[in-house]
Amino acid sequence: MIIFIISVALLGAYYFLIHYYHRSWKQIPDFGYGSANDFPATEKISVIVPARNEEAVIEQCIVSLLQQSYPKELLEIIVVDDHSTDGTAGIVKQYGKQGILLIPPREQPGAQHTAFKKKAIEAAIQASTGTLIVTTDADCIFHRDWIKTIAAFHQYSKAVFIAAPVKIKPANSLLSAFQSIDFAILQGITAASVYKKFHNMCNGANLAYEKTVFNEVNGFKNIDHIASGDDMLLMQKIYSKSPGGIAYLKAAAAIVETSPAHDMKAFFNQRIRWASKTGQYNDKRIVFVLALVYIINLCLFILLAGSIVQPGWLLFFAVAVFYKTLIEWNFVKEVLKYFNLQHLMWGFPLFQPLHITYTVIAGFLGSFGSYEWKGRKVR
């Protein structure tokens, strides 16, 4: 069976890739609470929260931001209303007296374009007074020392762009458990790759970058025709200018918690949106990694789908997936433990068929299909 042979051969290369990520993950120094206290708070920080139709979660996000331990006089919180059609703006306005700045849609230049979130962030950055920009999402909550830890790490590392950890907090469903596991693995890979400067990855729910470097690379110019990519495509631009200025912050207090997609449709739309920017990467290293992972999963998917007409293929699929699971096991176990998700380890081998299936489908539709996000249909 040629597909099985190809799968096993590629899994051999995959072993060395995962081993590299695992070893790199363990080498990342933890920037703990004591380290954060070694650096006095001196820097003005602007936290930017783009929000579209987030009335169900925006208040908990704002309250969590208002509880930050960072000095109030050095912290600016800006929420940008990205053309919400619900009560998001009204909720944000209630916190105006506590210093929350709301930027309405009409102040966003170029809002007629498809990259609405980028336009929202740009509008907030133009209105900001901080020297360090921190971006997050409206459905996130934070440790009270989140900003304090980022500020201290910025002083310590001298990095111009900081990627930091994000955790999907599982709800009471199998889909949310799967998302928590899958996303934690992506975060482990992100941390390892950024720390080793192997390739660039990040997530817009927990990013920090200097306002000056954002302006120096002309912000989202030349990537503002792409609906997504306010995180990784910006990171790519900044890396091209300052390859030594990229850093990863590994600290428990810096972990941002976000919510899982509420159903399978929303989940697939989210992952298709993420995959849609793959063709815009000019970093050949990440393109190679993504291609290797996609081809492996495609081969496994063919074995699984083919078993419908050739039942014997199911055995080949099971053997290959067992091999893949063994390769990933120790790395996944350590990453889940770091994010306090070790209780979900039982689901890791069981969710492999779903992971393989969504990787193939989302990867394909991200390049050739369309998706809906926040009530907007893209491509």
Alpha-carbon distance of 356 to 141, in angstroms, equals 30
Mean pLDDT of 122-145: 96
Alpha-carbon distance of 209 to 199, in angstroms, equals 18
DSSP tag of 363: H
- pLDDT, tens digit, 9 for 90 and up, residues 82-103: 889 999 999 999 999 999 999 9
- pLDDT, tens digit, 9 for 90 and up, residues 13-56: 999 999 999 999 999 999 976 677 778 889 999 999 999 999 99
pLDDT band at 106 (very low <50, low <70, confident <90, very high): low
Chain-centre distance for alpha carbon 28: 19
- pLDDT, tens digit, 9 for 90 and up, residues 166-201: 999 998 899 999 999 999 999 999 999 999 999 999
CATH of 43-269, one of 3.30.420.40, 3.30.465.10, 3.90.550.10, 3.40.50.10780: 3.90.550.10
108 pLDDT more than 50:
no
List of residues 6+ apart from 268 with CB closer than 8 A: 358, 361, 362, 365, 371
Mean pLDDT of the chain: 91
Residue 235, SS3 per DSSP? helix
The pLDDT, as a whole number, for residue 113 is 55
Alpha-carbon distance of 271 to 273, in angstroms, equals 5
Q: What is the pTM of this model?
A: 0.92
377 pLDDT more than 70:
no
- Cβ distance 7 to 320 under 8 Å? yes
Domain range list for the chain: 2-25+281-378, 43-269
C-alpha distance across the termini of the chain, in Å = 38
Q: Who has greater pLDDT, 34 or 290?
A: 290
The pLDDT, as a whole number, for residue 373 is 62
**Two tokens at 40?**
């006095």
Q: Please report which helix (H) or strand (E) contains residue 208, including its range.
A: strand 207-210
Q: Of 353, 351, 345, 350, whose CA–CA distance to 329 is shortest?
A: 345
107 pLDDT more than 50:
no
**Amino acid letter for position 105:** P
Mean pLDDT of 133-137: 97
Q: Who has greater pLDDT, 377 or 16?
A: 16
- pLDDT, tens digit, 9 for 90 and up, residues 192-237: 999 999 999 999 999 999 999 999 999 998 888 777 778 999 999 9
pLDDT band at 283 (very low <50, low <70, confident <90, very high): confident
List of residues 6+ apart from 39 with CB closer than 8 A: 151, 152, 155, 156
In this structure, are strands 246-248 and 376-378 parallel, antiparallel, or unpaired? unpaired
